[in-house]
């Protein structure tokens, strides 16, 4: 007997906003994580995160897409962890930030450069990770293509100590 393929039953968000084509392009590449096919079928509200009200943060966030799946603001509520999907459009840069939570990004599709503390930017491809301990400055940028990742925040999930410093002078 053939087993049925189980599909997630997460309800579509009330006002879904589709992923821009630049993300679909990298999610259909051969090196993308296979979960990308399922993600493209989900009706999420893809929008920049609203972690800070700092005007520079908002200005530099327009290239980002984000869905909090699990967390204080997530589709599923949790005060123990934030888990979600995060990406950036091509040719964009989101500068140095620090926050109390420990964080890990696992790349699903596309290419992205991550900068950790004072180290130079380093490219990350699908399957690679970038780990950011609590309060460690980090930054990210893209070039010709977008990237999409899954991220997790754990520890202190508050955004009270979130600081955005802008584009780094030493790249």
- The site that binds Fe ion (CB under 5 A) totals a number of residues, namely 1
Q: Where are the alpha helices (DSSP H) in 77-133?
A: none
**What SS3 state is found at 105?**
strand
Nearest distance from C-beta of residue 16 to Fe ion, angstroms = 25
Q: Is 68 in the site for Fe ion (CB under 5 A)?
A: no
Name which of residues 75 to 104 contact Fe ion (CB under 5 A).
103
Name which of residues 97 to 136 contact Fe ion (CB under 5 A).
103
Sheet holding 147-154, edge to edge: 76-77, 64-71, 81-88, 147-154, 102-110, 129-132
Nearest distance from C-beta of residue 114 to Fe ion, angstroms = 10
Residue placing its CB nearer to Fe ion in the complex, 68 or 103: 103
Residue placing its CB nearer to Fe ion in the complex, 103 or 113: 103
**Burial label, 136 (beta-carbon count in 10 A; 0-12, 13-18, 19+):** middle
Instruction: Give the binding site for Fe ion (CB under 5 A).
Output: 103
């Amino acid at each position: 007997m053939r087993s049925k393929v189980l599909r997630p039953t997460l309800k579509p968000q009330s006002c879904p906003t589709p992923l821009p084509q630049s993300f679909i392009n990298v999610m259909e590449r051969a090196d993308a994580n296979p979960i990308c096919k399922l993600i493209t079928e989900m009706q999420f509200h893809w929008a920049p995160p609203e972690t800070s009200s700092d005007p520079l943060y908002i200005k530099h966030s327009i290239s980002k897409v984000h869905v909090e799946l699990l967390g204080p603001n997530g589709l599923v509520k949790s005060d123990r962890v934030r888990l979600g999907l995060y990406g950036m459009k091509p040719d964009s840069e989101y500068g140095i930030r620090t926050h109390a939570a420990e964080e890990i990004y696992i790349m699903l599709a596309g290419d992205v450069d991550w900068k950790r503390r004072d180290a130079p930017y380093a490219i990350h491809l699908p399957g690679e990770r970038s780990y950011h301990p609590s309060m460690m400055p980090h930054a990210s940028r893209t070039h010709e293509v977008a990237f999409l990742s899954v991220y997790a925040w754990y520890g202190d999930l508050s955004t009270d100590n979130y600081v955005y410093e802008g584009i780094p002078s030493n790249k």
